[in-house]
Each structure stands twice: as structure tokens, then as C-alpha cells.
Amino acid sequence: MDESGGSGQPRSGNDRATDRHEGQPPRTDPSHPEATPDTTGSGPAPEEQAPAEDAHGRDTGAKPSDASDSSDSPDGSVSPDPSGIPDPPAGRAPAAPRGRTEASSGNTGGGAGTGAGGPRGPRRPKDPGGGLLMGRPFGVPVYVAPSWFLVAALITWVFGGQLDRVLPELGAARYLVSLFFAVAFYASVLVHELAHTVAALRFKLPVRRIQLQFFGGVSEIEKEAETPGREFVLAFVGPLLSLVLAGVFYLAMSPVEPGTVPGVLLAGLMISNLIVAAFNLLPGLPLDGGRMLRAVVWKITGTPMSGTVAAAWVGRALAIAVLIGLPLLTQTGALGGDPEDIGGMDTVTDALLAAILAAIIWTGAGNSLRMARLREHLPELRARALTRRAVPVETDTPLSEALRRANEVGARALVVVDAEGEPLSLVREAAIVGVPEHRRPWVAVSGLAQDLTEGMRVSAELSGEELLDVLRATPATEYLVVEDTGAIYGVLSAADVERAFVRAMARPS
């Protein structure tokens, strides 16, 4: 917040590529000053540790130095290598947090919370994955995580023991009934998550996936609600649907004879949905009630960050209360059962369950705070500030001559253009590093370039989440940055975006 994000690429160990401001002339202007490294050396290290190629695109076997080398300086910059050329980090642009809301629910926990996500590459997989794909209601993939099978087995075992006391005549068949209950319960959780999903789609918020996992479900909504009112509705619809389901199961019990298998199943589903609704309405992140509290504070203060901080700290207090209070309530019999019958293994189980729930809530609250800070710093990522100056060169220009021209004007990137000056491709850093210096006069830049696609043209006016969305949509190591008029502004490296992202996140809010 205190300064604009920059590439962090030093020149001679000091100057940075971001020591400029908006409104400067296009990068192709030779009079445009910029601190740059000497490009006549070995060249910057490529991203993704890609093998270098020669002028004909063949793999030379050369590998760049690792971006995580211990030469990283304390201030986040990278010390130059022996040849005087700084190596950019293994380049992935950080994933824009995409405002991802993880609206979770489950048998014991979950809630609407902001998903934590560290830096990720711009690559956006066609299928987000996350377990066994069960279907695509409303076009959103639904996955069952491997951990679900563990909790399904646990529910089958626990509920089977209860059925043995209520319906002893079932014998071993009680476990089949218990398994049906586990599946039906998670079907209720899925309905809860679909409520979040439908509301998100109604507000034109993209939903990446729904995942059923150990402690419930997660609806990954990729953008944040624009208003506190929508945030409140988005969070409330999940518990509301759980309450509606509880009412449906209660009404379904009326014509069913008590003490039968259908009666026990309906009663169990009614109670479990009431528990899901009540737990998710607790006013702390990452639960749905926490997002509702966040929306209220956001409405009062006018800033979503204030709402996040308040709801996250309430969530942490709630985690401590669960850790201490749940075992005490069980020991005193406040949750049912005779206190004299509670002890031994039951005490250990209750304490373990409380610890797991507390850890989930505490971690979710912390993740929400980190995501809020990330969104706060996103505007610092501006294409215009992060762009490297570039020089246009024609296809048959020798690499040595192209680098000489770049050094003369202090540029750090090469754009291959046709005879009319129309950009055709970008010379890749990964390819430059694989060409020995003595061969550079005989290698044409066209053999080291990557053809431009439409997605590799980035507006100089993009910033924040919008910029990162564009980078994710077309994965590449470099992008051509252009003005609104179509004039070349420069080249944006995904590595520079990642470095600026990391430095911005390292600063306090």
C-alpha cells in the first residue's frame, strides 16, 4: 500500500525496473529512461526451469539457475549472477485470490470463509479436480474428496452402534442402514452447498467447484460479493436450506411409525441438519455466521476489511471456546447422556473432536485475514508499473545486435516485429540463456521467439485482480503490453508479477 508493486529486478544489484510511474512514454521510445540490467551477459534465467533451446528450437540441455537460490537478498531482490545478469524467480504469476469464498458446511463444521491461497501460477487448469467427480449441477463440478470415505466409514460405525441399541433386530444389516444415512446426510450437505452456488451464480459470481470432504462441504466462489447485502445473502442461504431440510424431514416423520428404520433415519437426518444450520450460524469466520457478521460490520463501517478483521477474531475466540467448552459440556452431560457413563475412551474422543474443530475454525479465520490482506494489496499490481521496457527488432536481426540495441536504450525485453512494425512474437528469456555468447551473432531472434496469441496482449491499464485474471486465462512467461491505441508499451514477465505479489504481501496492512 505504501508503494506500487514492482518487478524487483535489480540492475547492477541496486536499481529496479519499477522505478517509474504511470504516464511515461511507450517502451519503444529510446528516450524513455529505465533502470535495467546489462543484457549482454548470459541473460535472465527463465521461468519454470525450462530447458534452453537453440535458434532452431532444439533443447540444448542448459538449465537456468534456481529462483530459490540463496543469493536472494533480504529486501526481496535477487543478487546478480556472476555475469552481472539478475535471475528472475521461477516465474509464475500469483493466482489472483479470485476472491474465492469457501462456503463450507458439514456434520460438525464449516461455514462461509474466504479461502486462503498463496501465490499460484497463472495456469488455470481446465478441470479444478479435488477428488471423484460426481456431476455438474448448474455447470459446477461436484467432487467427493478421499477424506469423505473416511468420515462415511466413521458415521457408519457410530450410527450403526446407535441403531444396535434402538433396533437390535437388524443385526449386521444395521451397517447398511448406517451407510445409507451417511450418504443421505452428505446429500443434505450438498443441498446446503448448492444454495451457496445458486446464490453466487445469481449474483454473477463464478463458482469453481463444490467439494464434499471430511468436515462437510466447500463451495469455491471465485470472486467476492460486491456489496455487504449480497455477502449476507450469499452466506445465509446455506444455513437457511439446512433449516428447510430439517423441517422437511420433520414433516416426513408424521406418517412414519416411530421405532422403525424409516423413522430413525428421518429423525437422524432432521437432527443432523439442525446441527449443521446451528453450527454454521455461529458468528465467526470461516462459518456462514461469520460471513454474515462480516457483512454487517462492512455495512456499518463501509470497509470490507473491517468486517473481515472483526469476524475473524470472533472466529478465533469461537475456536478457543470449542476447544475448552465442548469437552466440558460433554462431561457435565449438557449434550445428553449420563455423566456417570462418560469417561475413558469417550473423553479422549470428545477432546480429539474438539481439537480438530477448533483447529479448523482457527485456521479458517486466519486464512480469511490473509485473503483480506491480499485483496487489500492487489491494486498495487499494475501492468504499467511492472512492464519491462522493450525494443522492436526484425525477424532476421542477430541476437547479439538485438541485445546491443537493448543495452543502448536500457531495455530488458525484445519484441520481434514485421517490416511495418507490427509485433509478431516475443523473444523468450529461457531461449536467450541457452545461447552461448560466441554464437549470438549467428542466431536470429526469430528462432528464440514465441508467437503472440491474442491472450498474450495485455492492456497497460490493467491492474489488480483483473490483471491476474488475464494472465491466468493465457498461461505464458511473457506478455506484450500495449496502449489503448495499440502502440507497444513493453513486455510483462510473469516472474515480475510474482515478485511484486510476494513483496506486496510481505508488507503489513
pLDDT of residue 44: 37
Extract the residue ranges of the chain whose pLDDT is less than 70: 1-130, 333-346, 507-509
- Residue-wise pLDDT tens digits, 265-321: 999 999 999 999 999 999 999 999 999 999 999 999 998 889 999 999 999 999 999
Sheet strands side by side (includes 101-105): 112-114, 101-105, 216-221, 207-213, 142-144, 132-135
Q: How many helices (DSSP H) and strands (DSSP E) are in the chain?
A: 12, 15
pLDDT of residue 258: 84
Cell numbers linked to 7: 518487478
Cell numbers linked to 318: 469461537
Q: How far apart are CA 35 and CA 20, in angstroms?
A: 9
Buried b / exposed e over 190-204, threshold 16 CB at 10 Å, is bbbbbbbbbbbeebe
pLDDT of residue 141: 94
pLDDT of residue 116: 35
- Residue-wise pLDDT tens digits, 178-188: 999 999 999 99
Q: How far apart are CA 307 and CA 457, in angstroms?
A: 37
Q: How far apart are CA 424 and CA 446, in angstroms?
A: 9
pLDDT of residue 334: 57
pLDDT of residue 241: 96
DSSP, collapsed to helix, strand or coil, labels residue 129 as coil
Q: How far apart are CA 392 and CA 376, in angstroms?
A: 36
pLDDT of residue 113: 39
Torsion of the alpha carbons at 232, 238, 240 and 241, rounded to the nearest 10: 150
Is 29:411 a contact under the CB 8 Å cutoff?
no
Strands 478-482 and 413-417, bridge-based pairing: unpaired
pLDDT of residue 353: 80
Residue whose C-alpha is closest to residue 31's, from 409, 387, 384, 487: 409
